[in-house]
Amino acid sequence: MPHSFISNRVPIVFSTRERRALIAPDCRDKLRSYLVGIGKNLGVKIFSVGGTANHLHILLELPGTMSLLNLAAEA
């Protein structure tokens, strides 16, 4: 019986325009929860969300049936 294993982990970095410090520390938890919620709705597993006042890192895993292009189109 054939089996397959697909692991498509993708790091994504978002930056503010001109790297301005616009992400306030008190908003980071809300932003993290929001991004994790979007991931759940799309069927994407989010491993980590972090960053600083001027950028954000996300490590996620796409399902085997979804491409990065499809994720961008749905989000």
Rounded Cα–Cα distance for residues 67 and 5 (Å): 16
Sheet with 55-62, edge to edge strand ranges: 8-15, 55-62, 45-51
pLDDT digits (tens, 9 = 90+) for 21-36: 999 988 888 999 999 9
Q: What does each C-alpha distance from 43 to 17, 46, 59, 61, 70 come to in angstroms?
A: 29, 10, 14, 9, 12
Query: Does 1 score more than 70 pLDDT?
Result: no
pTM: 0.80
The structural architecture, per CATH, of the domain 8-74 is: 2-Layer Sandwich (3.30)
Query: Does 2 score more than 80 pLDDT?
Result: no
Domain boundaries of the chain, sorted by first residue:
8-74
